[in-house]
Amino acid sequence: MTDLAPSRTAWRHRGEELADQPLYPATTLDSAAYVVGFVAPRIEVTVHREPKWLGEYSDRLQELIEAGAAAPDWNGHGARALRPEAIGLGVRILAALYRGAEGRPFPWIVPTFRGGLQYEWHEGGVDLEIDIDPNGSVEVVFVDRNERKEWDGTLTEREWDVQSCLDKLARIRAIDTT
């Protein structure tokens, strides 16, 4: 995400403002300040402007919260609670990935053991996964079983590949639905 620089985003946890999060900036978000709009136990986030994909994101996060992912040990094996830092970073990543590309498929969203999120796309033998850690690291894994290609790395290193992969996934989904 080439135009990235830290921006000030206030996140609230139990009603208290958390430290500034050096996340993907508002310039990536069409210069508008908006964040996920849902209220869940322990996590409160406010919407200022909502793009089309954000409603689906909020719904899926709310499902995770209702399933218990906001609680420590949500999986019965010591998993950390879903962290607001991961949610905030996840919003900014999707904003960058979906900016000007409304036809791209939306990912499955799953909590990770470390309190982060993982975005997953699986279409027609092509798999893309983005692992968002609450500490700010973002790793990407891609496998195309049809063309026998695979790669991994950080989102920063592989941004162009991720954008291309999402376009490919959109074409595969369009073919599958016709």
Q: Which of 14-28, 76-90, 109-123, 146-160 has the lowest mean pLDDT?
A: 14-28
Per residue in 49-80, pLDDT (tens digit) is 566 777 788 888 888 888 888 888 888 999 99
Q: Are 40 and 70 in contact (CB under 8 A)?
A: yes
Rounded to two decimals, what is the model's pTM?
A: 0.71
The pLDDT value given to residue 64: 84
What does the pLDDT average to over 90-101? 85
Q: What integer pLDDT is reported at residue 177 of this predicted model? A: 67
Which pLDDT value is given to residue 23?
34
